[in-house]
Structure 1
Amino acid sequence: MSYQKLKKNIGLGVLAAFTLVGCVPEDEELSLGEQPEATFMVEAVAGQNNTYVLTNTTPGAFVSVWDKGSGFEKGREMDTIFLPDRGTYDIQLVAVTSGGADTSAVQTINVETSDPAAGNLVVGGRMNAEDADHWTLFTISDGVAFEMVEGKMRATGGGWGHAGFYQAVQVEANKPYQFGATVSGSGASDTWFEVYFGRTEPQSYQDYSDGGVQLALNTWAGCATTSFNGSLLSVGCEGALRETNGVITFDEGGTIYLVVKTGGGDLGAEGIAIDNLELRGTK
């Protein structure tokens, strides 16, 4: 067992112990039962997209602490979760009984399709190592390159190089979508960083402008010249989506290409990084 795993289990044990003591009436005599073995069941909810019921099946359990993919927190014996985004989610349970606490084995939920209303249509937008296969890199002119590093897609270089990356996304006609992304950098000069939604697939060593600039950093317009870290919508200084607070609609449904490209004289010491790319339907 790794140190981090051991530390997490110790912390959960302490939490469970306090919970146990707090739940026993003062006028009752304490007696520990058999050490539990934490178990739970996962069931998909019929007729509801990406919705699941988690049921603590540990005999005698009176406290349920669930990790639903983003850390442990106290919940109910039977909890319902909604997972809007396509991906895999590791679910785990700490169950507390009169005999103590136990951490269950992990059960993995595989969400095949993002929820059409609330799900992120961008696959691999968090830019974790396993997300690399969902993106295609392309070079427009040598001198700038993108690379996935430490949870971000980072562009470095300069010399008037030009490069990008993209992904095909399926959209519906006349449906409003909310776009968002996080960008960071140490400050650049003579540099642009742009987002497009186009109908044509990018080609290596060809510039891309299909659909027009939707959001952008542009040092000539006054942004990204010093250190920055935040939403592209707030950090950026150009693009049509600045007028709609990031909401975009498409006249025709089908395949569009989410394209990010950058280039210029000097992207800065740390380059320009982007992550948390999202395109979600709005209600």
Structure 2
Amino acid sequence: MKIHISSMLKWTACLVLTIASCKQEYLEGVKSNPAVKVYLPQAEKPNGLVDALVDGKLLVDSVAGTANFSVLVYRGGESNFDALTVDVGIDNTAIAGLITSGALPANTVILDPADYTLPSKDSVTLNNNIMKGAIIPKIKIASMTKYGGKTAALGIKIANSSKQAINTDMNKVIIYFNVDQLLDAVTPKTNMVDKTKWTVLKIASNDNVTFKVNDDGSILASGGSGGHQGVYQPFEVRANKQYKIDFNVQGQGATNTWFEVYLSTLQPTQNKDYSDGGIRMALNTWTGCGNTPFNGLLSAVKCAGSGNVVSFPNAGTVWLVIKSGGDNLGTGGIKLTNIDFRRVN
């Protein structure tokens, strides 16, 4: 029988299309033989440990204030693609032993139930030829500051599949993360100053120098005659992170006056002077600044102080103290605007 080349080409093209249209669906991951089972693919990792910041697909919900990770759920096999559900629970029993063995850092802490939310069930459905679901632990960002310098861990397990059986050799994982690294990733480096949180610090027995906090967040220091006063505000900082304080100062020129900024772990006390931690930035008419008109960032116009970037070895509360005193703060006083305190690394 004679076959035309054109007919052969058409037949070949049709065969290719037919094969392509009949391509068997497949599922990624472990395939149980002969049984089809549900499992956590990351349970294959050594000790089922999952570095959440590397393998957890971190998403930040800025409205809810949570850091959301993803723990995948797979179902093996190549048939019966009906959706199913699994129960989701917590199993932290292995964590202590992993700390002892060194598989987890010695500073690892187990997250408290108040630190996160976890769904009680997860759905597994066919998606792009994979039967899969995703358990989403939601870590409360505000709760993490108490774990500064620690590694946090949480054990997650699945059970009670509504259809195929659970692979009990691969039904548990432990997610863990460096808390400081998480906070670095999710906490924006924004101005921490709250204009409503300033407290006036009385130092001298008189009120010849006064600090007034204005509604717009600016502060006016004025007066003289041997007065001495200031303001302060507390902030929560993390260990070994750098923080920067700066703001604009404006004045017509002062006489026999000091204007100083402190940032330290010691809480100010009313009717008592403050000098803990040493001067960070200062105007000082005896040293050579502040006695003529000035208008600029204090970091630029200052003539004293150790610098406006500081870090602390331990997490906790620090107090920003701004104070001034002397004979005369100048006509109109010294005005502080755009007061900014933020983490810079």
User: TM-score, structure 1 length as denominator?
Assistant: 0.54
Q: Decide which structure has the larger Cα Rg and report it.
A: 2
Tell whether the 8 Å contact from 1:121 to 1:170 is kept in structure 2 after alignment: no
Specify the alignment match of 1:262 in structure 2.
324
Displacement over 4 Å in runs of 4+:
49-52
User: 2:301 matched to 1:235?
Assistant: yes
Higher fraction of strand = 1
Point out where structure 2 has 5 or more consecutive residues left out of the alignment.
Answer: 1-57, 65-185
Find the aligned partners of 2:61 and 2:246 in 1 and give their Cα distance.
23
Q: 1:169 to 1:49 in 2, by over 3 A?
A: farther
Instruction: Quote the sequence identity (%).
Output: 41
Find the aligned partners of 1:212 and 1:51 in 2 and give their Cα distance.
39
Specify the alignment match of 1:71 in structure 2.
none
Tell whether the 8 Å contact from 1:138 to 1:164 is kept in structure 2 after alignment: yes
SS at match of 2:244: strand
SS at match of 2:213: strand
Specify the alignment match of 1:110 in structure 2.
none
1:136 to 199, 215, 237: 199
Find the aligned partners of 1:51 and 1:118 in 2 and give their Cα distance.
17
Tell whether the 8 Å contact from 1:215 to 1:240 is kept in structure 2 after alignment: yes
SS at match of 1:234: helix
Point out where structure 1 has 5 or more consecutive residues left out of the alignment.
Answer: 1-45, 53-114, 125-132
Q: CA deviation at 1:250?
A: 1.1
Matched AA of 2:209: V
Find the aligned partners of 1:211 and 1:183 in 2 and give their Cα distance.
22
Specify the alignment match of 1:122 in structure 2.
193
Name the count of aligned residue pairs: 164
User: 2:267 matched to 1:201?
Assistant: yes
SS at match of 2:290: coil
Query: Deviation digits for residues 82-141 of structure 1, max 9, x if unmatched?
Result: xxxxxxxxxxxxxxxxxxxxxxxxxxxxxxxxx7341212222xxxxxxxx311002111
Q: CA deviation at 1:51?
A: 8.1
Matched AA of 2:269: Q
User: 2:147 matched to 1:147?
Assistant: no
Find the aligned partners of 2:235 and 2:251 in 1 and give their Cα distance.
27
Output aligned runs, 1:87-102, within 5 Å. Answer: none
Matched AA of 2:316: G
Specify the alignment match of 1:20 in structure 2.
none
2:339 to 272, 277, 280: 277
Q: CA deviation at 1:150?
A: 7.0
Find the aligned partners of 2:62 and 2:246 in 1 and give their Cα distance.
22
Matched AA of 1:48: V
The RMSD of aligned alpha carbons is: 2.0
Q: CA deviation at 1:206?
A: 0.7
